[in-house]
Structure 1
């Protein structure tokens, strides 16, 4: 099976510091992957490169069945190509309802005339209801987003990303600040989403990673230190020394 995303030998330096150092990574079209590593391992920079926020000094980032170079695209083009990123802090329109947040996120013609004369259709309402149901907010659609719990805001933002119909989701520390019940529901959601798309979860919480029950990539000093099941990587002496032992 060919990879949906293939990162090949990327390196990038900031003021002489090598944040990413010959990193290679690939993920299939329907796969869940956890990325872990100590602070400064390069996790955020890796996501910045994939989404076009940072340009590597060397290496390749290839996307899709036709191996398009993401390095030739800007951030907006990469998002339209099917890569969605969720940051750690949820960014939703707090004064708008859950349904309105999801409606605004839907893929649509964003030209000035299309926006000016836009009216919600039956298809729009149906798709919004589907998205709300998919992220566990079916009974919250009329609620103002600012009234939601932290976990519910995280799910709403995931729903807003799903509205863009991404093929790859990059999710940064989704478990942070969640209750135990919310964490369990988030685990279920991410595992279900990975049945039909690629999902990369960057996470520090090892208990949450264990619940995901997926392949784990360990980064250290901007490169892949180990890869495999959580049990496999946590038995690796190098991983124990640089990450788990601290």
Structure 2
């Protein structure tokens, strides 16, 4: 199977500290992958490189069936190519309704001139309802986003990313701060989303990773330390030493 995202030999240093060190791995077009590792392992820097926030000193990052290079593209262009990133802290328009948040996120031609006269079409409203249904917010469309629970805000932001029709979702610690019921629903949501797109989850919560039941990549000092099932990587002596044995 051809990889959707191919990271090959990337390295990047900040003030002499090598945050990413000859990192290579690939992700399939419909795959759920968890990335774990101790603080400073390079997880955030990896996402920064893929989304265009940071440019590596060397290596290549290619995406899609035509293996286009992401290096040199800005963040907006990479997002248009089909890569969405969800940060740990949800960023939604709290004074706007759930429906309005989703309408604003819809993928559409929005030049400054068109924005002045743009209004959602019936098809847009149908799509908004579909997105809300997909993330479990169908009954909350009229509510202000600020009234939602922490977990519901996370789902709303995921729906806003889905409105952009991404082929790859990068999700940072989605389980943090959630109730047990919200964690269960988030697990089911991410597993479902990975049936039609690639989903990469950066997470510290090992119980949550186990529930995802997916391939796991362990990073350490900016490189891949181990890869495989959670049981496989957690039995690795090096992983136990540098990650699981801490604290």
Q: For this structure pair, what is the TM-score category when the shorter chain's length is used for normalisation?
A: over 0.9
Measure the CA separation in 1 of the matches of 2:125 and 2:42. Answer: 40
3-state DSSP class of the match of 2:141?
coil
Measure the CA separation in 1 of the matches of 2:151 and 2:51. Answer: 24
- The size of the alignment, in residue pairs, is 246
Measure the CA separation in 1 of the matches of 2:112 and 2:32. Answer: 38
Q: 1:31-110, aligned counterparts within 5 Å? A: 31-110=31-110
Residues 152-200 of structure 1: per-residue CA shift (max 9 Å, x gap): 0000000000000000000000000000000000000000000000000
Measure the CA separation in 2 of the matches of 1:115 and 1:107. Answer: 13
Root mean square deviation of aligned Cα: 0.4
The match for 1:127 is 127
After TM superposition, the score normalised by the length of structure 2 is 0.99
Measure the CA separation in 1 of the matches of 2:120 and 2:76. Answer: 24
Q: 1:177-216, aligned counterparts within 5 Å? A: 177-216=177-216
The match for 1:158 is 158
Tell me the CA shift for residue 115 of structure 1: 0.5
The match for 1:143 is 143
1:13 corresponds to 2:19: no
1:233 corresponds to 2:233: yes
3-state DSSP class of the match of 2:140?
coil
Residues 15-39 of structure 1: per-residue CA shift (max 9 Å, x gap): 0000000000100000000000000
Structure 2: runs of 5 or more not aligned: none
Residues 99-132 of structure 1: per-residue CA shift (max 9 Å, x gap): 0000000001110121111111100110000000
Measure the CA separation in 2 of the matches of 1:173 and 1:157. Answer: 13
Measure the CA separation in 2 of the matches of 1:218 and 1:101. Answer: 35
Measure the CA separation in 1 of the matches of 2:56 and 2:119. Answer: 42
3-state DSSP class of the match of 1:18?
strand
The match for 1:118 is 118
3-state DSSP class of the match of 1:218?
strand
Tell me the CA shift for residue 73 of structure 1: 1.1
3-state DSSP class of the match of 2:139?
coil
After TM superposition, the score normalised by the length of structure 1 is 1.00
1:2 corresponds to 2:2: yes
Measure the CA separation in 1 of the matches of 2:193 and 2:186. Answer: 10
Between 36-45 and 67-76, report the one with greater CA deviation: 67-76
Measure the CA separation in 2 of the matches of 1:25 and 1:182. Answer: 31
Measure the CA separation in 2 of the matches of 1:39 and 1:102. Answer: 33
1:29 corresponds to 2:29: yes
3-state DSSP class of the match of 1:88?
coil
3-state DSSP class of the match of 2:129?
helix
Measure the CA separation in 2 of the matches of 1:172 and 1:210. Answer: 16
3-state DSSP class of the match of 1:139?
helix
3-state DSSP class of the match of 1:226?
strand
Tell me the CA shift for residue 72 of structure 1: 2.6
